[in-house]
Amino acid sequence: MKIFFVTGNEAKFREASLVLGEFGIELAMDRSHRKIEIQSDNLEDIVNNALATICTGDVSEYFVVEDDGLFIDKLNGFPGPYSSYVYRTIGLTGILRLMSGINDRTAYFKSVVGLCGPQIPAKLFIGVRYGVIATEPRGSEGFGYDPIFIPSGFNKTFGELGLEIKNKLSHRAMAFRTLGNWLLGGR
Ligand code: IMP
């Protein structure tokens, strides 16, 4: 079985491919569709809207889109759905500055993966990973906020833990694993 992932993000694609590979599902990067992103505080709304522009009428292939974000408790969930913009503007340094003097550094990553395809209604799969925000960036693996996110139960950041461990426990791995289970039997 083959699924097209509508994304230009190579790192997300690599992580999702490895997870779906566990199910024997091939993932291909689809650059022919554009992921249309509405502005919303809700990741599910963003993904549902993106899916609606990809699976219009009958389709002959399976497509997935994903949206995710980092939600920091003491910043009332900021940057959340705006994670990409915030990363590009104030970056890790800006987030660490906003967090300076804050002891409760709990945060979570949330991934919402949307699937549509022939003879199936659009469906969402969700993964959440809790952790804390580090006091400084550590590690060079991964992407985005990986160098400042320490998953619960570990004392290293995703950037230090590397892809193999990240893919066992990340929000994205959880969402794509749920999708794999659903497609291969759990429907
Ligand atoms: P979007 O889902 O492409 O809008 O991006 C959300 C943003 O959240 C990304 O640009 C990254 O900066 C960040 N992000 C999402 N997932 C991860 C992750 O697994 N590690 C680190 N940062 C992430």
Task: Yes or no: say if 180 and 23 are a contact pair by the CB < 8 Å rule.
Answer: yes
Q: Which amino acid is at 134?
A: A
* Cα(119) to centroid(ligand 1), Å: 30
Q: What's the CATH code of the domain at 66?
A: 3.90.950.10
- Return the residue whose CA atom lies nearest to atom 6 of ligand 1: 84
Domains in the chain, number: 1
* Cα(67) to centroid(ligand 1), Å: 8
* Cα(20) to centroid(ligand 1), Å: 19
Catalytic status, residue 146: no
Q: Please report which residue ranges of 26-80 form alpha helices under DSSP H.
A: 43-54
Q: Which amino acid is at 182?
A: W
Ligand 1 contact via 83 beta carbon (within 6 Å):
yes
Provide the residue range defining the domain that includes 173: 2-186
Task: Yes or no: say if 64 and 5 are a contact pair by the CB < 8 Å rule.
Answer: yes
Task: Yes or no: say if 95 and 79 are a contact pair by the CB < 8 Å rule.
Answer: yes
Q: Give, for all 187 residues of the chain, the pLDDT tens digit.
A: 999 999 989 999 999 999 999 999 999 999 878 878 888 889 999 999 999 998 887 888 999 999 999 999 999 999 999 999 999 999 999 999 999 999 999 999 999 999 999 988 899 999 999 999 999 999 999 999 999 999 999 999 999 999 999 999 999 999 999 999 999 886 6
pTM of the complete model: 0.95
Ligand 1 contact via 170 beta carbon (within 6 Å):
yes
Residue from 35, 40, 49, 68 to probe ligand 1 pocket by mutation (most atoms less than 8 Å from CB): 68
Give me the pLDDT at residue 186, please: 67
CA angle (6, 177, 50) in 5-degree steps: 25
